[in-house]
Structure 1
Amino acid sequence: MRSPILFSLPKSALQASKFNRPLLYKTSKMSTGIPSQAPVSTAAADSITENHAGGSGTGVSASDLGIENTNISTAAGVNLSERQRVVVGSVLDLFAGRPSLKKLSLWSDTATFADPLTIAEGRKQYSAQWYGLQAAFSSIERLKHEVVSAGNPIEMNLSTKYTVKGIGKEQRIDSVVRIWTEREGGEGSIMKVEDRWNGEIPEGAIAKAFRNLNSVVVPAFVSVPKNEEEDAKKGN
């Protein structure tokens, strides 16, 4: 990854994480307002849209979407459909800091991403969260993963090592990730992804305030590509 100019969030936001996981963002290639995102206009995206509208969802493969994580580990007795493998692979790519408009086209416009710091609601907010990983961390290493449930939500255990850009601090985070889709078997759009660090998400008004602050601030400082050409320039 290229080394961008970095922007640091206020201390109050940074201290919200018990992992002291600072979030740093690009100031290069930014518009003056909150970035917008145009829909993917390729034939592959059209096919995805058709599938979400009520098709089987089996017409789009991992290669169509440029998904890199195709070797999905499952617990004994857990069998994923091909569609679920596409969904899980795309989410693993996102956690590895490898977002793209094609991968995010699997998500509903009104989908939600939640972790201990954030409730990102809607395409603008969750897209900025995923693209923000590229700006925040110099490397993201997936240590291991295992899908433990093929239901709805799909559930997997995930261990990831993050190296913070600029200071080199490393942090391992063990997560329980849950993925909800519109229908069973991974069919339809992704509606929600929940990332529970060490199996827990803190509750209460203060935790919610920090989450909402983060989801509002991040889109203002993270540049989300408007089209595939801009996406390619970012190396996605």
Structure 2
Amino acid sequence: MASSSSLGLGQQAPLSEFASLNLNLSDSESPKEPSELAAQRIADAQALFGAKPSLEIFKRSWSPDAIFEDPIAHCRGWRQYAAQWWGMKVFSTSVTKAWRITKDTPQEIQFAQKQHYGIKRFGFEKTMISTVTMKLDNDGRIIHFQDAWDGKPMPGFWATPFRRANALSLPFFMSAPAQHPDQGGTTQESHKEL
């Protein structure tokens, strides 16, 4: 059985790290130790946010038909969500500074995180606090992954065309393996630079 520390998760942060989020937790609550499944899914998500995508992660944790969404993209299926994760490699720095689990059930895992991003070439640096929600199928694989920046809900109807256009166009600029490992994807990965 893998523990959260053996997966490289480190200690969970105090609630004060996520003051901008409405986590519905009391300050006196100690962080819960994640289940084995939650620890693995969170470790995999942190690897993806850290610009370290791998077919092994997707084979273990993601359904080929999963939905990925954040405020700027709404992706349906492997081709669209894989491009988003392989696209993270544009960041020269992407480090999880803090995290804390907020929900751990067989159907849903939720955690708050503080992620620091940087692009040296442009002198860009930003720290994002977000709430990540992963909905799981009966096999514990992700079928819906939502990254809510600053804990805000996803943009409304007005943003849908932009979010879908982003999901549909990024695969043309940022290559990822053509197929999910369950569909015959190989370990050979090609990448285009933006």
TM-score normalized with structure 2 length: 0.76
The residue that corresponds to 1:142 in the other structure is 96
Which of 44, 49, 59 lines up with 1:95 in the alignment?
A: 49
Instruction: Report the CA distance between 1:188 and its aligned residue.
Output: 2.6
Deviation of 1:82 after TM superposition, in Å, equals: 1.4
1:104 CA drift (Å): 1.1
Identify which of 2, 7, 10 aligns with 1:71: 10
Q: Which runs of 5+ in 1 are unaligned?
A: 1-57
Q: Secondary structure at the match of 2:121?
A: coil
- Say whether 1:219 aligns with 2:178: no
Per-residue deviation at 1:81?
Answer: 2.0
* Runs of 4+ deviating beyond 3 Å: 67-72
Secondary structure of the corresponding residue to residue 114 of structure 1: strand
SS in 1 for 2:140: coil
Mapping of 1:88-167 within 5 angstroms? Answer: 88-105=42-59, 106-134=61-89, 136-151=90-105, 152-164=107-119, 166-167=121-122
Summarize the Cα distance change of 1:169–1:121 in structure 2 as closer, same or farther, 3 Å threshold. same
Q: Deviations over 1:103-141 (max 9, x none)?
A: 01121111011100010110111111000000x211112
Question: Percent identity at matched positions?
Answer: 27
Give the partner amino acid of 2:62: W
Q: 2:24 corresponds to which residue? A: none
Q: What letter corresponds to residue 174 of structure 2 in structure 1?
A: V
Quick one: structure 1 residues 68 and 219, their matched pair in 2 at CA, closer, same or farther if it must change by over 3 Å?
Answer: farther
2:38 is aligned with 1:84:
yes
Equivalent position of 1:192 in the other structure: 144
Q: Distance in 2 between matches of 1:170 and 1:203?
A: 24
AA aligned to 2:52 is R
Q: Which residue of 2 aligns with 1:228?
A: 187
Aligned residues of 1:69 and 1:90 also touching (Cα < 8 A) = no
- Equivalent pairs counted in the alignment come to 166
Cα distance in 2 for partners of 1:139, 1:132 equals 13
- The whole-number CA distance in structure 2 between the counterparts of 1:77 and 1:143 is 16
The CA deviation at 1:161 is 1.2
Q: Secondary structure in 1 aligned to 2:166? A: helix
- 2:162 maps to 210
Q: How far apart are the structure 2 equivalents of 1:70 and 1:79?
A: 11
TM-fit CA distance, 1:85: 1.3
Sort the Cα spacing of 1:165 and 1:201 in 2 relative to 1 into closer, same or farther, 3 A: farther
- 1:163-194 deviation digits (Å, cap 9, x = unpaired): 135312111111011111113xxx43211110
Task: Measure, in 1, the Cα distance between the counterparts of 2:175 and 2:55.
Answer: 13
The question of whether the paired residues in 2 share the 8 Å contact of 1:161 and 1:171 is answered with: yes
Q: TM-score, normalised by structure 1?
A: 0.63
The answer to whether the 8 Å contact 2:31/2:100 transfers is no
TM-align CA RMSD: 2.6
Please report how far the alpha carbon of residue 142 of structure 1 lies from its aligned counterpart in structure 2 after TM superposition. 1.3
